[in-house]
């Protein structure tokens, strides 16, 4: 997608969420209220099928564009299960299955389905195959994520409506990789929101006759947070670019890196944000926790830092010290557009 089109799309998504989302909506979501109006507008923009090729009725966005959209989504607390739906539609399309309309849940092995109660379909993508499941009528147990309090349901998936082989570039863990990528991107966006809120608070809250952001102790913390936020954003964008160029499996290393770096940043930045907001940020009334709880939840989704770090670390150890640096540079340079 051209840079111009991309920035227009990102602007549209940003405007939609600025207008429609906010603390009230995030609280409503946590009570299990479906954000119907927002979903309809997202559909009107063609977002659910944005990663589907134009020939199949989508917007033809790549994984790199998707990361940019998901980051905007995360900046607003991701009030609707759009990211997983976009990834699910993309995987169906890669397998040649026309994605159905309506909310689609991305089924990642071992994870509950985001908004499984509202999704009409679910998509699995493991073992090199993608399958489309009908959810209406399926047995389900409704719940919500422990810390994030986002609707997350366990649904029994029966026989699929369709099942096809994925191209080799997707690998045997396409759903997991897509899920890790989208959570890294949403974390990167939510971190921006948390940093913005914290800087704003530090600039307005006054103690000892001046804004607390005027104190070096607070400035140093916020500067450190800014570094983490920037790192998470770069890691997510890097992973998106790798997946766009080399497929999800080809970008597995970068996706792992993104999930590790974003997950580490989530913990560190949330800690700093709460320290600066002090007791005010510990209240239910203040919106900070709507974002920090999502950060703590998303860093555990689709593999925590530990999981992805072990995977790339074990691979590096097996390859040995002499290969460490050449491997790091070669991934970038082997497959160019």
Partner 1 sequence: MVGLRFDLRDTPADAPALRAELRAFLAEAGRHWSPMVRAYSWMGFDREFSREVGRRGWIGMTWPRAYGGGERSAMERYVVLEEMLAAGAPVGAHWIGDRQSGPLILRLGTEDQRREFLPRIARGELAFAIGLSEPDSGSDLASLRSRAEKVPGGWRINGRKVWTTNAHRCDFMIALLRTSPVADPKLKHQGLSQFLVDLRASGIAIRPIPDLVGEEGFNEITLDDVFVPDAMLVGEEGRGWEQATAELAFERAGPERYLSSLPLLIAALDDLRAEPAAPEAVGRLLARAATLRQMSLSVAGMLQEGRTPAREAALVKDVGNDYEQALPEAVRDLTDPARTPEEVREMLGITTMVARSYSLRGGTREILRGIIARQLGLR
**Interacting residue with partner 1 among 17, 113, 229, 290 (CB under 8 A):** 229
Q: How far is the CB of 131 from partner 1 (least distance, A)?
A: 31
Interface size with partner 1, residues (CB under 8 A): 58
Query: What token pair was written down for 63?
Result: 């994984």
* Interface with partner 1, residue 39, by CB under 8 A: no
**Interacting residue with partner 1 among 36, 37, 101, 223 (CB under 8 A):** 223
Taking CB under 8 A as the binding criterion, the range among 23-31, 73-81, 111-119, 318-326 that sits at the site for partner 1 is 318-326
Q: How far is the CB of 197 from partner 1 (least distance, A)?
A: 11
Q: Within positions 200 to 219, which residues make up the interface with partner 1, using CB under 8 A?
A: 202-203, 213-214, 216, 218-219
Map residue 63 onto helix, strand or coil. Answer: helix
Map residue 167 onto helix, strand or coil. Answer: coil
* Interface with partner 1, residue 260, by CB under 8 A: yes
**Interacting residue with partner 1 among 204, 224, 275, 283 (CB under 8 A):** 224
Which of 55, 52, 50, 43 lies closest to 5 in space, CA to CA? 50
| Cα→Cα distances 91→104, 170, 180, 213, 250, Å | 11, 9, 14, 46, 15
Taking CB under 8 A as the binding criterion, the range among 36-44, 92-100, 290-298, 328-336 that sits at the site for partner 1 is 328-336
Q: How far is the CB of 326 from partner 1 (least distance, A)?
A: 8
Taking the least distance from each CB to partner 1, the nearer of 185 and 261 is: 261
Q: Within positions 180 to 199, which residues make up the interface with partner 1, using CB under 8 A?
A: 192, 195-196, 199
| Cα→Cα distances 214→204, 207, 277, Å | 10, 10, 14
Q: How far is the CB of 100 from partner 1 (least distance, A)?
A: 34
* Interface with partner 1, residue 329, by CB under 8 A: yes
Query: What token pair was written down for 16?
Result: 């939609």
Taking the least distance from each CB to partner 1, the nearer of 147 and 231 is: 231
Q: How far is the CB of 19 from partner 1 (least distance, A)?
A: 22
Residues 6+ apart with CB under 8 A from 201: 276, 277, 280, 281
Task: Kindly report the backbone phi and psi dihedral angles of residue 206, in degrees, each rounded to the nearest multiple of 5, phi listed first.
Answer: -110, 135
* DSSP 8-state code for residue 141: E
* Interface with partner 1, residue 261, by CB under 8 A: yes
Which of 272, 182, 184 lies closest to 233 in space, CA to CA? 184
* Interface with partner 1, residue 146, by CB under 8 A: no
Are 51 and 90 in contact, with CB atoms under 8 Å apart?
A: yes
Q: How far is the CB of 141 from partner 1 (least distance, A)?
A: 32
Taking CB under 8 A as the binding criterion, the range among 34-42, 144-152, 292-300, 314-322 that sits at the site for partner 1 is 314-322
Are 80 and 38 in contact, with CB atoms under 8 Å apart?
A: yes
Measured between its terminal Cα atoms, the distance across the chain in Å is 13
* Interface with partner 1, residue 115, by CB under 8 A: no
Which of 145, 115, 148 lies closest to 289 in space, CA to CA? 148
* Interface with partner 1, residue 66, by CB under 8 A: no
Task: Give the span between the Cα atoms of 107 and 123, in whole angstroms.
Answer: 6
Are 38 and 16 in contact, with CB atoms under 8 Å apart?
A: yes
Which of 163, 153, 101, 158 lies closest to 132 in space, CA to CA? 163
**Interacting residue with partner 1 among 30, 65, 173, 228 (CB under 8 A):** 228
Are 277 and 284 in contact, with CB atoms under 8 Å apart?
A: no
Task: Give the span between the Cα atoms of 315 and 331, in whole angstroms.
Answer: 14
Contact residues toward partner 1 (CB under 8 A) are 192, 195-196, 199, 202-203, 213-214, 216, 218-220, 222-224, 226-231, 233-235, 237-238, 241, 253-254, 256-258, 260-261, 264, 305-306, 308-314, 316-317, 320-322, 324-326, 328-330, 332-333, 336
């Amino acid at each position: 997608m051209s840079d111009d089109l991309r920035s227009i799309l990102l602007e549209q998504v940003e405007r939609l969420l600025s207008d429609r989302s906010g603390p009230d909506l995030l609280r409503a979501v946590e009570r299990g209220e479906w954000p119907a109006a927002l979903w309809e507008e997202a559909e009107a923009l063609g977002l659910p099928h944005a990663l589907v090729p134009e020939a199949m009725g989508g917007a033809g966005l790549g994984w790199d564009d998707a990361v940019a959209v998901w980051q905007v989504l995360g900046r607003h607390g991701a009030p609707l299960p759009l990211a997983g739906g976009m990834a699910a539609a993309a995987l169906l399309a890669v397998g040649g299955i026309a994605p159905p309309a309506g909310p689609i849940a991305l089924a990642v092995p071992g994870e509950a389905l985001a908004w499984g109660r509202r999704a009409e379909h679910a998509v699995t993508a493991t073992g090199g195959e993608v399958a489309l499941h009908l959810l209406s009528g399926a047995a389900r147990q409704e719940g919500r994520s422990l810390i994030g309090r986002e609707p997350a349901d366990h649904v029994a998936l029966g026989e699929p409506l369709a099942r096809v082989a994925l191209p080799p570039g997707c690998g045997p863990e396409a759903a997991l990789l897509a899920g890790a990528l989208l959570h890294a991107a949403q974390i990167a966006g939510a971190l921006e929101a948390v940093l913005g809120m914290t800087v704003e608070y530090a600039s307005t809250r006054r103690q000892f006759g001046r804004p607390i952001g005027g104190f070096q102790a607070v400035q140093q913390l916020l500067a450190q947070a800014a570094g983490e936020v920037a790192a998470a954003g770069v890691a997510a964008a890097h992973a998106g670019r790798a997946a766009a160029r080399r497929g999800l499996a080809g970008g597995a290393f970068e996706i792992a890196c993104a999930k590790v770096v974003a997950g580490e940043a989530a913990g560190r930045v949330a800690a700093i944000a709460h320290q600066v907001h002090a007791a005010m940020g510990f209240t239910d009334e203040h919106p900070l926790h709507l974002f920090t709880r999502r950060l703590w939840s998303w860093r555990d989704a689709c593999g925590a830092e530990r999981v992805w770090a072990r995977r790339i670390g074990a691979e590096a150890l097996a390859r040995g010290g002499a290969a460490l640096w050449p491997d790091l540079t070669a991934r970038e340079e082997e497959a160019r557009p």
